[in-house]
Structure 1
Amino acid sequence: MHAIRLHAFGPAENLTYEETEDPRPGPGQVRIAVRAAGVHLLDTALREGGQGPAPAPAALPTIPGREIAGVVDTLGEGAPEDLLGRRVVAHLGFVPGGYAELAVTDADRLHEIPERLDFAGAVAMIGTGRTAMGIVQFAEPGPQDVVLVPAAAGGIGTLLVQYAKNAGATVIGLAGGPAKTARVAADGADLAVDYTDPHWPERLDAHRGKVTVVYDGVGGDVARAAVALLAPDGRHIVFGWSSQGIGSDSPYIVEGLSTNVLGPGMMRRAGGPNPIRTLELRALAEAGEGRLTPSVHRFPLAEAAAAHRALENRGTTGKVVLEP
C-alpha cells in the first residue's frame, strides 16, 4: 500500500509518500480500505515531536493520522462477519496509522456511516464533530442567546455556527478574509466579520454587552476582543488557543467568565460507560439527519505535507481531509 510516513520529527516536508507493507488485522480487529483520513491541528504538533494529549510521542518511523473512513476489506479472528464490505468510520485513539490506503483498528471502534454522509464528511464528524458536541454541552444555545464563534470557517467553527443557528440563536461568526466570511454567511451566521480587519470589533458595537456565549478555539487578541463583548452573565467556552500554539498558556481566560472544556471535563459531562462514543454517535446522528453539514477541505493523500502547511498557515476552510 501507499502511506505517508514520518521518519524524523520536524517540518511538514518530513511527511513522505511511500510504498510500505500492507497491515494485517489481529484478533477482534478489521482492516479498512481508507477513502478519507482526517488531518487535525494536533497532528502538526505531533509531527514536530510534541506530545499533545497522547501518553508519549509516537515511535519513529510512523504513519500519522487517527481519523479514518472507508470500507472494511479484511476481518481479523473473532471480528463480526457482517462488517465485511460495510462503509465505516472510526477514530483510532492514540494509535496512529490513518494517512494510508489501508488501516487497522478494533472492530468495536467502528461506526456505520449514515447513508447521506460521504467518507470525508464522516471523518469530519467522528473527530471534529464529536468535539463540537462536547463543547455545546457546556452552553447549549437557544433563541435567547447571541453566540459569537471565532474561527467560524474552521472545521469545529462551521459546526458550531450551524448548531447555534438551528437552536434559534443570533450567531456572529469571525473568520479571516472575504472567502472565509462568505463561507460563514453561507452556514447561516446572522453576521460574518473579517477579524483580519483591525477595526473589526467596531462592527460589533451594537452587540457590546449583549453577547451571551463565545465558543473560542482561537485565544490571543481575538479572544480578548470577543470576551469584551460579553454580557455580564455571558459564558466564554474555551476549547483551544490556535493563535498561540497548542499547549501554550492562556492569559486571556477571565475568572468567572471562562470555562476551559478540553480534557476530562468534556468526557464527564457526556456521561455513560463510553462518553467518547456517546459524543461520536451524537455527531454522526446530527449529520446523518441533515441538521449539521460538515465543511471539508480535501487534499490527495500524497499531498499530506501541503495539507499540514495549509492548516498551519490558516489556508483551509472546514475539516482538512486526505483522500487516497
Structure 2
Amino acid sequence: MHAIRLHTFGPAENLAYEQTPDPRPAPGQVRIAVAAAGVHLLDTALREGMKGPFPAPAELPTIPGREVAGTVDALGEGADPAWLGKRVVAHLGLAPGGYAELAVVDAARLHAIPPGLDEAEAVAMIGTGRTTLGILQFTELGPDDVVLVTAAAGGIGTLLVQYAKNAGATVVGLAGGPAKTARVEANGADLAVDYTLPDWPDRVRAHLGGTRHATVVFDAVGGDTARATVDLLGKGGRHVVYGWAGKGIHDGEPLTYTDEELAERGIVSLNVLGPAMIQKAGGDVRALELASLAEAAAGRLRPAVQRFPLAEAAAAHRALETRGTTGKVVLIP
C-alpha cells in the first residue's frame, strides 16, 4: 500500500509518501480500504514532536492520522463477519495509522456510514462533528440567543453556525478574509465579519442595533480577537473556549479571566476541551459519534470538507498551519 510516513519530527516536508507493507488485522480488528482520512490541527503538532491530548509517537517512522472511512476488506480473528464489505467510519483513538490506503482498527470502534453520506463527510463527523456536539453540551441555545462564532469557516465553526441557526439564534460568524466570510454567510450566519479588519466589533454592534448583546461566544482563536468578542457579551453571557489557534498579534494564546473579573463582567468562561468534555458526556464518546453521524444523516448538520490527495499530505498540513483551509481537511487515497 501507499502511506504517508514521518521519519523525523519537524516541518510538513518531513511527511513522505511511500510504499509500505499492507497491515494485517489482529484478533478483534478489521482492515479498512481507506477512502478518506481526516487531518486535524493536532496532527501538525504531533508531527513536530509536541505533546498534546494524544502522545507524540514513541517510535519513528510512524503513519499519522486517527480518523478514517472506507470499506472493510479484511477481518481479524473473532471480528464479526457482518462487517466485511461494509462502508464504515472510525476514530482510531491513541493508535495512529490513518494517512494510508489501508488501516486497521478495533471492530468495537466502527460505525456504519449512514446512507447519503460520503466517506469524507463521515470522517468529518466522526471527529469534528463529535467535538462540536461535545462543545454544545455546555450551553443550550434558543431564539433569544445572540451567538458569536470565531473561526466560523473552519470545520467546527461551520457546524456551530448551523446548529445555532437551527436553534433559532441570531448568529454572527467571524472569519479571516472575504473568501471565508462569504462562506460563512452562505452557511446561514446572520452576519459574517472579517476579524482581520480593525472595525469589525463596530460592525457587530451596529448589526445588533445597540440594544442587544451577545449571549454566547464560541472561542477557538484566543488572544486579542477573543477579548474583543467577550467585550460584546452582555451580563449573563457565556464564553465557551475550545481552542486558541489564531494568528493575530496575541491570538494563539488562551484568554483567561480571574474569578473577580468574571464576577465584575457578569459572565461565565468555560474551557470545554479534553477531560471536561469527556466527563460531561459521561465518558461515552461513542454516543457523541453516533449523534454526530445521525445529525448529518438527517441533514441538520452539513460538514464542509476540503479534500487533498493523500500524496499531498504535506500541503494539507501547511494549509492548516497557515489558516489557509475551510472546513474539515481530508486526505483522499
Normalised by the length of structure 2, the TM-score is 0.93
Counterpart position of 2:61: 61
- Which letter does structure 2 place at the counterpart of 1:85? G
How much does 1:220 deviate? 1.2
- Which letter does structure 1 place at the counterpart of 2:72? V
* 1:229 and 2:240 aligned: no
Counterpart position of 2:221: 218
Instruction: Give the Cα separation in 2 of the matches to 1:292 and 1:268.
Output: 24
Instruction: Give the Cα separation in 2 of the matches to 1:221 and 1:227.
Output: 10
How much does 1:55 deviate? 3.9
Instruction: Give the Cα separation in 2 of the matches to 1:51 and 1:57.
Output: 9
CA spacing shift, 1:194–1:249, aligned 2, 3 Å: closer
Contact 1:220 1:244 in 2 (8 A): no
How much does 1:268 deviate? 1.6
Identity %: 73
Counterpart position of 2:265: none
Instruction: Render the CA deviation track for 1:304-324: whole Å, top value 9, x for unaligned.
Output: 000000010011000000000
Instruction: Give the Cα separation in 2 of the matches to 1:56 and 1:2.
Output: 22
- Which letter does structure 1 place at the counterpart of 2:305? V
Instruction: Render the CA deviation track for 1:148-204: whole Å, top value 9, x for unaligned.
Output: 000000000000000000010000000011111111111110000011112111101
Contact 1:131 1:156 in 2 (8 A): yes
CA spacing shift, 1:307–1:56, aligned 2, 3 Å: closer
Gaps of 5+ in 2: 263-267
Instruction: Render the CA deviation track for 1:26-79: whole Å, top value 9, x for unaligned.
Output: 000000000000000000000000011124544210000000000000000000
Find the partner of 2:254 among 250, 254, 264. Answer: 250
Find the partner of 1:266 among 268, 277, 284. Answer: 277
CA spacing shift, 1:168–1:251, aligned 2, 3 Å: closer
SS in 2 for 1:46: helix
More displaced 10-residue stretch of structure 1: 12-21 or 252-261: 252-261
Find the partner of 2:309 among 288, 300, 303. Answer: 300
Counterpart position of 1:311: 320
Instruction: Give the Cα separation in 2 of the matches to 1:155 and 1:230.
Output: 24
SS in 1 for 2:135: helix
Counterpart position of 1:111: 111
What are the equivalent positions in structure 2 for 1:140-289 lying under 5 Å apart? 140-206=140-206, 207=208, 210-243=213-246, 250-253=254-257, 255=259, 256=262, 257-271=268-282, 274-289=283-298
Counterpart position of 1:32: 32
Q: Number of aligned residue pairs: give it.
A: 320
- Which letter does structure 1 place at the counterpart of 2:215? T
What are the equivalent positions in structure 2 for 1:46-125 lying under 5 Å apart? 46-125=46-125
SS in 1 for 2:243: coil
Normalised by the length of structure 1, the TM-score is 0.96
Instruction: Give the Cα separation in 2 of the matches to 1:28 and 1:85.
Output: 16
Question: Once superposed, which parts of structure 1, at least 4 consecutive aligned residues long, lie more than 6 Å away?
Answer: none
Contact 1:65 1:96 in 2 (8 A): yes
Counterpart position of 1:42: 42
* 1:2 and 2:2 aligned: yes
Instruction: Give the Cα separation in 2 of the matches to 1:103 and 1:45.
Output: 22
- Which letter does structure 2 place at the counterpart of 1:285? A
Contact 2:245 2:253 in 1 (8 A): no
Instruction: Give the Cα separation in 2 of the matches to 1:216 and 1:281.
Output: 25
Instruction: Render the CA deviation track for 1:90-112: whole Å, top value 9, x for unaligned.
Output: 00011000000000000000000
